[in-house]
Amino acid sequence: MESEAIEEKITLPTVSIIVATLNSESTIDECLRSILELDYPKQLLEVIVVDGGSKDSTVERVKAHSVKVISTQLNTPAGYNYALKTVKSEIVGFIDSDAKVEKQWLKKLVTHLNSPKVAGASGTIATWNNNKLIPRCIGYELSYRYSRLPKEIRRVATMNLILRKRLIEKVVGYDEALSTQYDTDLGIRIASAGYKIVFDSSAICYHFHRPTLGEYFRQQFKYGQNTWKLYSKHPQLIKGDEITDWWMNVQPILYAVAAISLVTSVITNFNLLALSIFLSIAIIATLHYALSAARISRTFHDLSAMFLIVIYFTRAVAWTLGGATSFAHNVLTRGGYEKR
């Protein structure tokens, strides 16, 4: 047994796991506990928490654990870049502060780093708080999308990811101009540099999904604010992939057209053409939502998944408004978006 332990120390790489947090007092304890209880040699594991200026008890809770704490006023990608400068491990892990991982998560992922062309690995996402309707439905839809992922992926999420540090540095780190979608941008740049990220569905991360429609709307609104910036850097993403397909991408455009058509119809005494465009888009979107919700409901054998119709509508409106306000702000301030 002792020789096996010695061999494991030799073959397993050192790993530094970075957790970015902001006002995460309700989830940070379980998040860190799951990391510290990983089935991985403790002497090969470092945990770094980067706090972006929490106003609640997050930092106090973090200090109760045996981890390194970095307090900043930076956004998440800037916080990651800052923390990476202190990391000496060859492998860096990323887990969100509202997520927790199973004990074998890290061991399962590091086994994929057996080729110099493999930049990293990511696992599947399950729902932490599936006892509530809204997060359970969000989780169903996310699990359904993840079930379509191939063995090699380009779009990654930092809630559940390990990467070689030298390759993060090679592509110049995270884009600090993207307060969300910075992880997708990094994955695309890594793939463009000729490397691949492996997807392992057996490595499970549990995510605490937004529990109310209001919180979910605010989260998706922020995503919408940065989506047009991401797609301006990587236009090929517009056609969609297994995680975000073409229908999800086209919805903000359709919603904008529908809104313009409705307003035009009203101010022109219900012009038939404008009204027809609005009604056509509304009917198509509703039918698509209903069919998608029914398919997922059947897959997971849960009729409550039909609530996804409301969630789909909430997400599309949030993306549309977030994108429109962000784009308008950039035009009005003549800031534009500069690629890194």
Say which residues have a Cβ less than 8 Å from residue 215's Cβ, sequence separation at least 6.
none
pTM across the whole model: 0.91
For tokens 């800031």, the residue is 335
Query: Sign of the CA dihedral 145, 151, 155, 161?
Result: positive
Residue 42: strand, helix, or coil: helix
For tokens 């995503």, the residue is 223
Say which residues have a Cβ less than 8 Å from residue 213's Cβ, sequence separation at least 6.
134, 310, 311, 314
Residues in the chain predicted with pLDDT less than 50, given as ranges, are 1-7, 10, 338-340
Cβ atoms within 10 Å of 160's Cβ, excluding its own: 25
Give the pLDDT score at 52.
96
Give the pLDDT score at 8.
52
Give the pLDDT score at 335.
53
Say which residues have a Cβ less than 8 Å from residue 134's Cβ, sequence separation at least 6.
209, 210, 211, 212, 213, 216, 307, 311
Residue 99: strand, helix, or coil: strand
Backbone angles phi, psi at 308, to 5 degrees: -60, -25
Give the pLDDT score at 340.
45
Give the pLDDT score at 76.
96
For tokens 């490397």, the residue is 195
Give the pLDDT score at 284.
97
